[in-house]
Amino acid sequence: MASMGSSRIFRVRLQEKLCQWGCYPPSFVADKFTCHRGGAAFGFSASAAAAAPSCCQERPRLKMSVTPPWHPGGQSRPQATPSIRRYATMGTQQPNSVPEYQVDPYRLLEDDLKDVYTYIRNALRKNTYQEDLYEIATYYFDGNGKAIRPMVAILMARAINYHMYKENSGLLPAQREVAMISEMIHTASLVHDDVIDQSDFRRGKPSVNVRWNHKKVTMAGDFILAVASIMIARLRHDDVTLVLSQVVSDLVQGEFMQLGSKETENERFAHYLTKTYRKTASLIANSVKSVALLAGAGEQLSDLTYQYGRNLGLAFQLVDDLLDFVSSSAAMGKPTAADLKLGLATAPVLFACEKYPELNPMIMRRFQEPGDVEKAFELVHKSRGLEQTQFLAKQHCEEAIRIASQLKESPYQKGLVVAADFVLNRMK
């Protein structure tokens, strides 16, 4: 395993702890923070040490074997769609990354997930007779997405229901709705994002903005969001409405933050982490919190689920930022090395700055000068930026696993553990 002697990781984690509550840390004195992994010595203050996560504890590898998945509700068991199958473990994961757990969340939730896209398309259909609008709005709901958000929301719903109610632990219709709403909010944001990024390709096909003009595409994104809002209102649960509305505000603010950059290295990390929380982690965190609230979970339990989702979401985006440097366009179904071209300095670049300070001016000019993208790409690969990014993602996954382990044991609770492994070891 990579050993990270760098103080950066720990500054990052502390900054992030503050970011999570919406606070911006002033500035961090790099030399104050040192940590010896596995040792007791932390070179930072007591309050900082208290905020330090369980990153310095080795997680014992979990060995799990599970009885066949439950099929509550007595529903008939339809054929799994090929797309869900395609995204089951072996399709997306590094070889040998998960078999020891013997739980494949996609298989476990086969019945729950198989109709998600059909339901979403129906919900959109019911709200418009305009063929163009329907076609554009449903373009990405073709069953080729990874459906990570619905998968995690349903896993959490079922895990929490079991945790709270044991036998009577079927999925509530409202929880299923949240899984769909979560995918709809995500997709609405991707539709807008593709217009903003002038994207060419997504999910292995021309992106929506290539097929239709920007005005129609933008309104189709608005439409998906509007239908998701109607679905939220129909849940008639004030706390869930608040929590899911916050997600939309976070998404917009995260995307907006991405348009700007900060002067100093520490400010940049804080900015990056807050942006990452808002753009990616907030949706996952607040979706799993919503299903917990719908189950009747109190503050402590719903906060626990939120923290699981927050850690998983941060790890997910860190891995995404890593894959942008190491994966192929064919594997990802979208162009890679795209972030630098868009002027974005993500974790691998920010980490690489420590060894190659010449990256700083390139970051400030958003890699706009000829040769910047190629040079930055090369320096990131020569540095330990990719390793450090993966290490940080791993810490978040370990934290997510630690949190999931606090729920009562069930196949779904184990599924939450495996989902964290999925996120860390995914290849697309």
Three-state SS string across the chain, please?
A: CCCCCCCHHHHHHHHHHHHCCCCCCCCCCHHHCCECCCCCCECCCHHHHHHCCHHHCCCCCCCCCCCCCCCHHHCCCCCCCHHHHHCCHHHHECCCCCHHHCCCHHHHCHHHHCCHHHHHHHHHHHCCCCHHHHHHHCCCCCCCCCCHHHHHHHHHHHHHHHHHHCCCCCCCHHHHHHHHHHHHHHHHHHHHHHHHHCCCEECCEECHHHHCCHHHHHHHHHHHHHHHHHHHHHHCCHHHHHHHHHHHHHHHHHHHHCCCCCCCHHHHHHHHHHHHHHHHHHHHHHHHHHHHHHCCCCHHHHHHHHHHHHHHHHHHHHHHHHHHHHCCHHHHCCCCCHHHHCCCCCHHHHHHHHHCCCHHHHHHCCCCCCCHHHHHHHHHHHCCHHHHHHHHHHHHHHHHHHHHCCCCCCHHHHHHHHHHHHHHHECC
For the record, the structure tokens of 179 come out as 């899984």
CB of 341 to Mg ion, least distance (A): 11
Interface region with Mg ion, contact rule CB under 5 A, candidates 75-83, 190-198, 279-287, 420-428: 190-198
- 255 vs 387, which CB is nearer to ligand FPP? 255
CB of 327 to ligand FPP, least distance (A): 11
Q: Contact positions toward ligand FPP, by CB under 6 A?
A: 185, 188-190, 192-193, 196-197, 199, 221, 225, 248, 251-252, 255, 279-280, 334, 338
279 is in the binding site of which of Mg ion, ligand FPP, none (Cβ under 5 to 8 A by kind)? Answer: ligand FPP
CB of 197 to Mg ion, least distance (A): 4
192 is in the binding site of which of Mg ion, ligand FPP, none (Cβ under 5 to 8 A by kind)? Answer: ligand FPP
CB of 316 to ligand FPP, least distance (A): 10
**Residue 197 engages Mg ion in binding (rule: CB under 5 A):** yes
CB of 253 to Mg ion, least distance (A): 16
- 224 vs 401, which CB is nearer to ligand FPP? 224
CB of 186 to Mg ion, least distance (A): 13
Nearest residue to Mg ion on Cβ basis: 197
- 190 vs 420, which CB is nearer to Mg ion? 190
Which residues, 6 or more positions from 160, have their beta carbon under 8 angstroms from its beta carbon?
291, 292, 295, 297, 301, 305, 407
133 is in the binding site of which of Mg ion, ligand FPP, none (Cβ under 5 to 8 A by kind)? Answer: none
**Residue 193 engages Mg ion in binding (rule: CB under 5 A):** yes
CB of 167 to ligand FPP, least distance (A): 38
- 108 vs 423, which CB is nearer to ligand FPP? 423
CB of 29 to Mg ion, least distance (A): 35
- 111 vs 193, which CB is nearer to Mg ion? 193
189 is in the binding site of which of Mg ion, ligand FPP, none (Cβ under 5 to 8 A by kind)? Answer: ligand FPP
- 251 vs 403, which CB is nearer to ligand FPP? 251
- 112 vs 339, which CB is nearer to Mg ion? 339
- 258 vs 425, which CB is nearer to Mg ion? 258
248 is in the binding site of which of Mg ion, ligand FPP, none (Cβ under 5 to 8 A by kind)? Answer: ligand FPP
Q: Which residues bind Mg ion (CB under 5 A)?
A: 193, 197
